[in-house]
Structure formats: C-alpha cells, structure tokens
Structure 1
Amino acid sequence: MTQSSTITIDLAKTVFQVAFFNKFGVLKSNEKMTEHKMLSFIVNHPEALICMEACSSAHYYGRKFEGQGHKVKLLPPHIVAKYRAGNKNDANDALAIYEALKRPNIYSVAVKSISQQDLASLLKLRKGYIKQRTQVSNRARGLGAEYGVKLPEGITSLKKRLPDILEDDGNQL
C-alpha cells in the first residue's frame, strides 16, 4: 500500500460519497459532497491515491485527478461489490472501494485518454446501432410473416428485396 493518504469516491451525478483514509489506513471521514466540494477536497490533499469504481464518469475524473498529480486507480464494480459490508449505499460503497484496494492481486482499470475514450465510445455506439438494426429487421420479418410474406434473412438481402416486397400488390401487406 502507498505511504500517502487514500481517497475513495463513490461516483454519482450530483452528490459524491468521499472517504478519506490517512497514510496509516485510518478512516478520517466518509461524507457526501457536491462536485465543487469534492474537487476542493481533492486539491487540499496533494499526492493522494484516489480510487473509484470504473463506471460512468470515472475516466473523466481520473484524467482530471492525474492532471493534478494524484495517482488514480479504477476498480471494476463487480470486484468492489464483493467487499461491501452491510446494505448497498453510498457510504458503504466508498468503504468497499478501499477494502478492495487493500487486497493483493486485485487488478485495476487504466484511466482512458480522451482518444481511447473516443474510440471506445464510437465502438459502443456502432455496436448499439447494429443491435437496433438487427431488432428492426427481425421485427419486419415477424410482421411480414403475420401476413404470409417471408422476408429474407441478412440485412443486405432484406434491404435489397424489401422495396419490391412492399410494392408487390399480390401480397397482403
């Protein structure tokens, strides 16, 4: 473990749970903070190790904190969940992040650069569009089957044949 203090953050949209541990691992505070208060708190603890779950906005804050000279670790949420004591709430989540961090052989996720995040976002969007396209083509095939019209499988065949099928006066569409 590090010789510096450790800050664990349970990220949220507006209110963040921030737990602060001194260099000996003693919990000094675990409180809810607005984004502004959290950022001020971080600035007042230079060279702290900051640990968060690798979830929405983690890479943004990770880059921000690294830019301020902090070491940042992002832990996968499924690993953090194993170390939660008690009910799932923000305070317990911030403590669970610290517990997971202390364990040997726990891997962390690297903070993505802007270009890495851009590429990951594009790939995620593309995957979503392909999934939606597949859902629409499956719905069209199902609807066609309700009227006795068999639409071809495969998006290329469907795109090619669909206009002729829709214009065909001989089917019940």
Structure 2
Amino acid sequence: MQQNHKITTIGLDIAKNVFQLHGIDADGQVVLRKSLRRGQMRPFFEKLAPCLIGMEACATAHHWARTLIAAGHDVRLIPPSYIKPYLRRQKNDAADAAAICEAVTRPSMRFVPVKSENQQATLMLHSARELLISQRTALINALRGHFAELGIVVPQGAHNARQLIAILEDDEGYTPQAVRIALGPLATALIEIKGQIAKLDKAILAAHRNDDVSLRLSTIPGIGPVIATCLSASVPDAKLFEGGREFAAWLGLVPRQHSTGGKPRLGSISKMGNRRMRKLLVVGAHAALYRMKNGKTQSPLAEWARTLLAKKPFKLVAVALANKIARIAWAIMARNIRFQPEFVPDHRALISV
C-alpha cells in the first residue's frame, strides 16, 4: 500500500467479520488492496485521510455508513443491481470491492440515502409487524382447515377466527378432547400474536405522530399511519429523484417496457424497487378506491378514478391509483407541502404531479 493521502476512492465490500477494501488514487491507479477484521475497521478509517467510500446497500451498510461519515469520509451506498455490471468474470470479495470502487465513480450512478437509526427502527417495526401478520394468517388457516375436517366452517376474515377459539373454550360444547389438545396451542399462539401486533400498531402510531413528514403524507387519500411511516423512513431524501414519475418507477408501479425499433411495447407493472412500499401503496389504493367508487369521496382525484373505472377493471385502476398516490407522495416529501385537493384545477394537473 502506498501513502494513505494518495487514496481518493475506496470500494468497501462489507460482511459479518471480514471486510475487503479496494482503493485508487486521483489518476485511477490501484493503491490499496486490503482485508480488515471487524475490530480493525474503525481505527483504520479514523486514521485515513477523508476520501470517497462506496458500499453496497445491503445489511449493516447504513450502520457502517454512519460510522464512516462520523470519521469524516464521504460515503455512498449503491444498489446491488447497479454494481453487478462492473463485476469482472469470477465473483469474490476482492472483485466485489473493485467493482464497487469503479461504480461509485460513475457520474450517472444512483445512490441510496443513508438512513438514521430512528428511520431504521421504524422500519424494524414494520418488518416485525409483517412477520407476525404472516404467522397470524398461517395459524388462522391451520385452525380453519382442521375445523373444516369436523364440518365446522366460519366466514373468512381474521376477526371470524374468534368463533373457532370460542368453540375450543366452550367446555359444554361437543368437541373431542384430542381436538382441544391439538388445537389449543394454536389458539393460544394466535391470541398472543394478535396482542403483539396491537403493540406494534401503537408503536407505529407513536412514530407517525412524532414525524412531520409522515403526518403530511397521511393527508393523501389511501395513506394512513402505517404507509406514511414506511414511506417516511424508507425515503430519507425524496429530492434524489427527478420527479414523481421517477419515484413511481423506482417503486415498480409503472409498466414494464420492451421497446425496439421505435415501437413502444408496454406490459404489466415492473414490480422493481421496494416490495413492501409497493404492496402497502396498492393496498391503500384499493381502500381509497372503494370509497371513491361509492361516491363517498368528492375530489378531482376521485373523479379521475371513477372515470377510469367506467373503462377499466377495478384492480387495474387500483394499481393506477397507487401510481398516482406515489407521485403525490413524492411531491409532498420533496416540496415540504400538504395534500390540498381543492387547489388541483383539473385532472391534467394530477397526472403531471
């Protein structure tokens, strides 16, 4: 390794215990190839002169980005899919670090904003809630399936599972003892998970009330505390996107293109980007569209949705509405404003958001 002051850019491939570094100077010459253990990371970079550091936006990347920024370095996080084209032939830690180093110097490269600890904590609430909801669904399906074998069927819906639990708790009802022993633990686990989900909902609501961006996002039809907090924590700086259309494309809410020879060919939505945010926006759009369809909402956005419903299927319109909501959300985050539907003069203004 040559003198540290000659290092201008470092590609850092992070892992659990072994970290690979690839550094270049101002002329692009390689001056550093080195691996570090976890305990060596902080002392090494604290002694190193400030430089540009590129990392893959993966697990623990935001923690290390905050640590290196505190040491005076300029840190950029790159989406993994944008690094792959710069990887040469075989994949290993050294090759990954070299690819990251080359990618971070590209002027057209797209970077991921570094999240704060509070933003990561909010997203952990969402991850835990999503996991518990999936476990709740599995338990409900198991109870419904087993009771169906006994000829006991209740309407669909999570709240109707209480009827099945009541059957198990009814000592006077006719239920074989073996059924109570087998399904009792499932019912107990279901009750416990419901309580834990309620606690997470309260924590998300508290985070929502303490976040100005989340409060402003909740003024948009179809966005409540859950979606608003997820958007606010997932997008620290909306100005990194050129506009609402680019933000919607980043979420995967735009048609997939396969165009050639000047002939545009559009398919279904691309489903790229943040899967959780896209799912939440589509679910919120479904809820908003039901109210708009029934005439309970009167606004230019609702009128646009009802006009489209006259020509297109409900689910297709819901995805289109989710695209529209995403664009409006970008405008609110980037311009520090609230959603004010009365100031929207016509449908074209909504489309251009």
TM-score (structure 1 length as normaliser): 0.86
Structure 2 stretches lacking a partner, 5+ long: 1-5, 180-353
Residue 165 in structure 1 maps to residue 170 in structure 2:
no
Query: Alignment partner of 2:86: what SS?
Result: coil
1:84 corresponds to which residue? 87
Structure-2 separation of matches of 1:165 and 1:54:
49
CA contact (8 A) 2:21 2:35 kept: yes
Residue 34 in structure 1 maps to residue 46 in structure 2:
no
Aligned with residue 64 of structure 1, among 64, 67, 71: 67
1:54 corresponds to which residue? 57
1:16 corresponds to which residue? 19
**Percent identity of paired positions between Structure 1 and Structure 2:** 36
Count matched residues.
Answer: 170
- The amino acid across from 2:112 in the alignment is V
Q: CA deviation at 1:112?
A: 0.8
Query: Alignment partner of 1:32: what SS?
Result: strand
Superposed CA deviations along residues 10-63 of structure 1, whole A, max 9, x for unmatched, are 111111111111222222222221123232321232211111111111111111
1:142 corresponds to which residue? 145
Superposed CA deviations along residues 105-141 of structure 1, whole A, max 9, x for unmatched, are 2211111111111111111111111122112212222
TM-score (structure 2 length as normaliser): 0.45
Q: Which runs of 4+ in 1 moved over 3 A?
A: 170-173
CA contact (8 A) 2:7 2:24 kept: no
Higher helix share: 2
CA contact (8 A) 2:10 2:22 kept: yes
Superposed CA deviations along residues 56-115 of structure 1, whole A, max 9, x for unmatched, are 111111111111111110111122123211222111111111222233322111111111
Structure-2 separation of matches of 1:163 and 1:36:
52
Please provide the CA RMSD for this pair. Answer: 2.2
Structure-2 separation of matches of 1:136 and 1:11:
38
Structure-2 separation of matches of 1:12 and 1:90:
9
Moved more, 14-23 or 131-140: 131-140
